[in-house]
């Protein structure tokens, strides 16, 4: 199976997801053995218009473990400020001469697709705009669920937080809809609930779901809690007690043994530190999986050539 670019999570069919996850497993083994040199002739450019050291390091580490080299910018924004009216398309055409793969974080929704339309090297979307896509995060989230629970079928998943603009939660809901007997719980203050487009998509696919405003009711039956932040400033009433959305040792006590807590990180107060030592706290393993999934994606693109 061949893909030219990684632009949005929708482009990943179930067979492609399985191929990716097989490769990801292989990458875990490669890293455990100290990496490979198989890709040492390749150069990857991380072109970040908005800084995100965590995501950038994850990609760059992936390239290094594969033996490759990295061109890196934390502040591509400044370089485009040289001239008003410079277009992303020109930049991509130029940078494409200097590398074999571009990892792009752009501030405008649709930036990655525009880049891909003119690029002579593969583009990986590392986030475009706050309402845009971040497909590698969605894929590593899905991989984490698979890796922790051993299956992607018949899972009950609670997505918690400011879901209306929650790029990661939205993408994960989308990807989970591809699997059998998924049941989703969207848990958020009413004004920050998941948007209709996702619900319509789930209706179409016949995926069952519920909208809730507390984890209370479902805590003892879910397989996955996917926790995200809620910015207090976005609430209609700032006096609402957000702590009802937090994961605390008390919440943990009522969760199934064979369940996990995830978070795209960074976190604020929505998961207590006391939870970290519980084996069900999967969020740091989730961050680690970012490395393997990104290695797998890079090889998928470079093996195409």
Q: Which residues are catalytic?
A: 54-55, 84, 105, 134
Question: How many residues are recorded in the chain?
Answer: 305
d(CA 160, CA 222): 12
d(CA 152, CA 175): 10
Q: From residue 127, give the alpha-carbon distance in Å to each of 8, 106, 138, 189, 259.
A: 9, 6, 11, 25, 28
Tell me the backbone φ, ψ of residue 106, rounded to 5 degrees. -120, 155
Tell me how far, at minimum, the Cβ of 61 lies from its own copies, in Å. Answer: 4
Tell me how far, at minimum, the Cβ of 85 lies from its own copies, in Å. Answer: 5
**Among residues 111 and 155, whose Cβ is nearest to its own copies?**
111
Please list, in sequence order, all residues whose beta carbon lies within 8 angstroms of the beta carbon of residue 224, skipping any fewer than 6 positions away: 145, 149, 155, 156, 157, 158, 259, 260, 261, 262
Tell me how far, at minimum, the Cβ of 89 lies from its own copies, in Å. Answer: 8
Q: 69 pairs with which residues across the strands?
A: 43
**Among residues 158 and 230, whose Cβ is nearest to its own copies?**
230
**Among residues 205 and 234, whose Cβ is nearest to its own copies?**
234
Tell me how far, at minimum, the Cβ of 196 lies from its own copies, in Å. Answer: 28
d(CA 179, CA 7): 21
Q: Are 88 and 110 in contact (CB under 8 A)?
A: no
Tell me the backbone φ, ψ of residue 23, rounded to 5 degrees. -60, -40
Q: Are 54 and 266 in contact (CB under 8 A)?
A: yes
Residues in contact with its own copies by the rule CB under 8 A: 34-35, 41, 43, 45, 47, 51-54, 56-58, 60-61, 64-65, 69, 71-76, 78-80, 82-86, 90-91, 93-95, 97-99, 229, 265-269, 284, 287-288, 290-291
Tell me how far, at minimum, the Cβ of 91 lies from its own copies, in Å. Answer: 7
Q: How many CA atoms lie within 13 A of 133 on its CB side?
A: 18
Tell me how far, at minimum, the Cβ of 304 lies from its own copies, in Å. Answer: 16
Q: 271 pairs with which residues across the strands?
A: 247
**Among residues 47 and 124, whose Cβ is nearest to its own copies?**
47
Q: Are 108 and 250 in contact (CB under 8 A)?
A: no
**Among residues 212 and 287, whose Cβ is nearest to its own copies?**
287
**Among residues 23 and 263, whose Cβ is nearest to its own copies?**
263
3-class DSSP state of 128: strand
């Amino acid at each position: 199976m061949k893909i030219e670019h990684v632009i949005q999570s929708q482009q990943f069919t179930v067979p492609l997801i399985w191929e990716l996850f097989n490769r990801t497993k292989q990458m875990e083994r490669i890293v455990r053995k100290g990496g490979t040199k198989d890709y040492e002739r390749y150069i990857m450019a991380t072109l970040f218009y908005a800084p995100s050291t965590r995501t950038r390091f994850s990609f760059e580490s992936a390239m290094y473990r594969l033996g490759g080299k990295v061109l890196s910018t934390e502040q591509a924004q400044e370089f485009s400020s040289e001239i008003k009216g410079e277009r992303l398309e020109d930049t991509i055409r130029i940078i494409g001469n200097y590398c074999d793969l571009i990892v792009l974080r752009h501030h405008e929704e649709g930036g990655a697709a525009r880049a891909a339309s003119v690029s002579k090297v593969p583009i990986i979307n590392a986030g475009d705009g706050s309402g845009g896509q971040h497909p590698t995060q969605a894929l590593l989230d899905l991989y984490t669920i698979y890796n922790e629970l051993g299956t992607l079928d018949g899972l009950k998943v609670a997505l918690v937080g400011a879901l209306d603009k929650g790029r990661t939660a939205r993408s994960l809901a989308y990807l989970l809809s591809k699997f059998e007997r998924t049941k989703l719980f969207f848990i958020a203050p009413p004004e920050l609930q998941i948007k209709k487009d996702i619900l319509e998509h789930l209706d179409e696919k016949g995926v069952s779901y519920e909208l809730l405003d507390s984890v209370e009711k479902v805590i003892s039956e879910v397989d996955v809690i996917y926790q995200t932040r809620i910015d207090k400033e976005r609430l209609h009433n700032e006096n609402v007690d957000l702590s009802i959305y937090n994961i605390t040792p008390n919440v943990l006590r009522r969760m199934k043994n064979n369940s996990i807590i995830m978070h795209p990180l960074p976190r604020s107060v929505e998961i207590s530190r006391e939870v970290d030592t519980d084996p069900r706290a999967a969020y740091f393993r989730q961050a680690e999986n970012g490395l393997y999934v990104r290695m797998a994606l890079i090889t998928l693109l470079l093996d195409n050539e």
